[in-house]
Amino acid sequence: MIEPSRGDERLIQLLADKATEGLSLSQQNELDHLLAVHPEVGPEELELAAAAATLAMIDVSIQRLPSRTRVELLSNATRFFSMNGRAPARPNVQTRWNDQDYS
């Protein structure tokens, strides 16, 4: 069980803020420092909790990715993996859905 001392409350608060609102640069630096002091606390633990909560709440309202965005993602992925020396993706520009929501 990880029980932060009263002085370490700040660490937990910064983790919660990061998971919900994001942090300023100075707050992120402060968090990095506190995490270095407390290696037993995982830096992503509350972000994972927030992600899981999001999945619970979004469950019935997943939207389709617009086809143009999908094509652009594939194109950017090709560039990214080529630049990083890994096998490039071969974009399949054929749209999977005939969605008309991007016009």
Partner 1 sequence: MHQHLLQRVAAGEPSAIEECIDRYGGLVWSLARKLVGAHADAEDAVQVVFIDLWKSAARFDPNVASETTFVALIARRRLIDYKRRRLRQQDQVQSLPIDDVDVVSREQRSDAGELVEEASRAAAAIRELRPEQQEILRLSVYDGWSHQRIADHLQVPLGTVKTHVRRGLIHLRNLLKGGSTKLVDQEARS
Taking the mean position of all CA atoms in its chain, how far away is CA 32?
Answer: 18
Q: Is 29 in the site for partner 1 (CB under 8 A)?
A: no
Based on CB atoms, which residue is closest to partner 1, 4 or 30?
4
Among 26, 86, 95, 98, the residue binding partner 1 under the rule CB under 8 A is 86
> Assign residue 22 a region: left if phi > 0, alpha if psi is -120 to 50, beta otherwise?
left
Among 27, 30, 35, 99, the residue binding partner 1 under the rule CB under 8 A is 99
CB 2 within 8 A of CB 40: yes
Least Cβ distance, residue 98 to partner 1 (angstroms)? 11
Q: Is 61 in the site for partner 1 (CB under 8 A)?
A: yes
Q: Is 35 in the site for partner 1 (CB under 8 A)?
A: no
Q: Is 65 in the site for partner 1 (CB under 8 A)?
A: yes
Among 32, 33, 37, 76, the residue binding partner 1 under the rule CB under 8 A is 76
Half-sphere exposure of 100 (CA within 13 A, CB side): 0
Residue with tokens 């991007």: 102
- Residues comprising the chain, all counted: 103
